[in-house]
């Protein structure tokens, strides 16, 4: 009898410890669910909010939570990679795009009206933002489905813990009944029966625990395979994107190199043309200078010959014999004589001044 009491007490202590662990896990799960729900509500408020003043998009980088579902991590990685909840646009432009896109239910006709609301965006940028928005909606739907599955799994676990707790309470109740019966009868047969029933209960409990453990291991293996396959797929996508980016960078570098070589060839050609032009202009200027110099020399020579001719003529005039007649200076001119014919011999009127021609320099003093 003492062995049965010791076994029952040991079982009670084990069950109490298990119940306390289950209660701790349940509180932790509830806290996690509350945190995730608040997080989802905050995301929804951030998307639906429409402030009057536009704010610049901010991207917060944080290490991914390994306990989150893959769809949630995929959405967070997508938002971090593409510029936050507004796809790299400011909040005002994104809200205007959502307004027009929702109005037309995503039909292509919305683009003309969106261009009026977004004059600073090109049609290509609007189409790219539309692709980003559709990808965001798809990832958000996957995230909601993953959260629903996660909640359902947690609910099943909670129901399983409650069922285990009920089974344990039922087992304790049965043990109490068996113990009461043992105390009432006090017979060896009953003791053996109680011990046998207790052993059967232990074996049944052990078998259930083993079955649950196998099921848990199978689920864990399946989850690990699924996570491994998801990581492999993400790695393939990452490698593909990196390869595309590498090829794009190589093409851009090749284009830059070709453009630089073309610019260098054009610069060399312009330099050669400029050198030829400068040489041609220098030759033309040299010819012009030589022509002007030759012309000036000819003019100087002609001027010198003219001066020589003038000097020779002057010498011939100076050396000539000219008779001097001083009375001719006071002799009336033909014009004066004609005038005196009309005035008369007595004259009249004021006396006019008589002008004389200037004596040339070369005749002064003769």
Q: Is residue 366 very low, low, confident or very high in pLDDT (cuts 50, 70, 90)? A: low
197 — pLDDT class (breaks 50, 70, 90): confident
Q: Which two tokens stand for residue 264?
A: 């260098």
Q: Which residue has the tokens 């929804």?
A: 44
Percentage above 70 pLDDT, the chain = 81
Q: Which two tokens stand for residue 191?
A: 């003791």
193, burial (CB in 10 Å: exposed 0-12, middle 13-18, buried 19+): middle
- Quote the CA–CA distance of 215 and 228 in Å, as a whole number: 20
Cβ–Cβ under 8 Å, residues 49 and 55: no
- Reported as a single tens digit per residue, the pLDDT across 5-16 is 787 788 888 888
**Domain residue ranges in the chain:** 2-186
**pLDDT at residue 269 greater than cutoff 80:** yes
56 in Cβ contact with 17 (< 8 Å): no
In whole angstroms, what is the distance from residue 194 CA to residue 184 CA?
12
Whether the per-residue pLDDT at 261 is higher than 90: the answer is yes
CB–CB of 126/97 below 8 Å?
Answer: yes
Write down the pLDDT at residue 68: 65
Which range, of 66-75, 126-135, 161-170, 304-313, averages the lowest pLDDT? Answer: 66-75
Confidence of residue 67 (pLDDT cuts 50, 70, 90): low
Give the span between the Cα atoms of 187 and 181, in whole angstroms: 10
d(CA 277, CA 255): 32
pLDDT at residue 113 greater than cutoff 80: no
Question: Which CA distances in Å does 341 have to 51, 150, 338, 349?
Answer: 117, 146, 5, 15
Q: Is the predicted pLDDT of residue 4 greater than 60, yes or no?
A: yes
Average pLDDT over residues 174-179: 75
DSSP state of 360: P
Half-sphere exposure of 148 (CA within 13 A, CB side): 6
* Residue with more model confidence, 282 or 190: 282
- The better pLDDT of the pair 126, 211 is held by 211
Per-residue pLDDT band at 254 (split at 50, 70, 90): very high
Residue in the block written with tokens 């390994």: 66
Model confidence at 115, pLDDT cuts 50, 70, 90, reads low
Cα(117)–Cα(103) distance, rounded to whole angstroms?
13
3-state secondary structure 216-261: HHHHHHHHHHHHHHHHHHHHHHHHHHHHHHHHHHHHHHHHHHHHHH
User: Do 154 and 181 meet the contact criterion of CB atoms below 8 Å apart?
Assistant: no
246 has a pLDDT exceeding 80? yes
What's the predicted TM-score (pTM) here?
0.30
Record the tokens describing residue 362, joined without a space. 């070369």
Residues 7 and 198: beta-carbon distance below 8 Å: yes
Question: What is the spatial distance between Cα 282 and Cα 267, in angstroms, rounded to a whole number?
Answer: 22
CA atoms lying within 13 Å on the CB side of residue 155: 6
Contacts with 4 (C-beta within 8 Å, 6 or more apart), sequence order: 179, 182, 191, 194, 195, 198
Residues 6+ apart with CB under 8 A from 101: 110, 114, 130, 133
- What is the model's pLDDT at position 226? 92
Measured distance between the N- and C-terminal CA atoms of the chain, rounded to whole angstroms: 181
């Amino acid at each position: 009898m003492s062995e049965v009491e010791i076994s029952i007490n040991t079982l009670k202590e084990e069950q109490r410890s298990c119940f306390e662990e289950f209660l701790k896990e349940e509180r932790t799960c509830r806290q996690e669910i509350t945190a995730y729900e608040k997080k989802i509500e905050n995301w929804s408020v951030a998307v639906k909010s429409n402030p009057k003043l536009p704010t610049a998009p901010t991207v917060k980088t944080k290490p991914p939570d390994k306990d989150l579902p893959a769809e949630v991590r995929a959405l967070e990685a997508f938002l971090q990679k593409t510029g936050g909840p507004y796809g790299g646009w400011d909040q005002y432009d994104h809200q205007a795009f959502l307004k027009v896109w929702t109005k037309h239910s995503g039909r292509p006709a919305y683009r003309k009206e969106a261009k009026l609301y977004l004059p600073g965006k090109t049609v290509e940028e609007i189409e790219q933002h539309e692709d980003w928005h559709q990808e965001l909606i798809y990832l958000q739907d996957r995230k909601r489905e993953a959260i629903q599955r996660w909640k359902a799994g947690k609910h099943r676990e909670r129901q399983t813990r409650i069922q285990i707790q009920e089974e344990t309470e039922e087992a304790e109740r049965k043990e109490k009944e068996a113990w009461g019966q043992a105390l009432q009868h006090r017979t060896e047969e009953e003791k053996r029966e109680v011990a046998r029933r207790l052993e059967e209960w232990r074996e049944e409990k052990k078998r259930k625990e083993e079955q649950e453990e196998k099921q848990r291991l199978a689920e864990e293996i399946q989850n690990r395979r699924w996570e491994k396959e998801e990581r492999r797929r993400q790695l393939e996508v990452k490698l593909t994107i990196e390869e595309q980016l590498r090829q794009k960078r190589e093409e851009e570098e090749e284009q830059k190199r070709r453009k630089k070589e073309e610019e260098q060839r054009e610069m060399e050609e312009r330099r050669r043309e400029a050198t030829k032009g400068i040489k041609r202009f220098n030759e033309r200027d040299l010819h012009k200078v030589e022509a002007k110099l030759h012309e000036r020399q000819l003019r100087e020579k002609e001027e010198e010959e003219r001066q020589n001719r003038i000097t020779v003529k002057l010498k011939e005039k100076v050396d000539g014999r000219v008779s001097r007649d001083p009375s001719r200076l006071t002799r009336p001119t033909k014009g004066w004589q004609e005038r005196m014919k009309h005035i008369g011999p007595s004259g009249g009127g004021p006396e006019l001044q008589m002008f004389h021609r200037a004596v040339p320099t070369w005749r002064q003093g003769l």
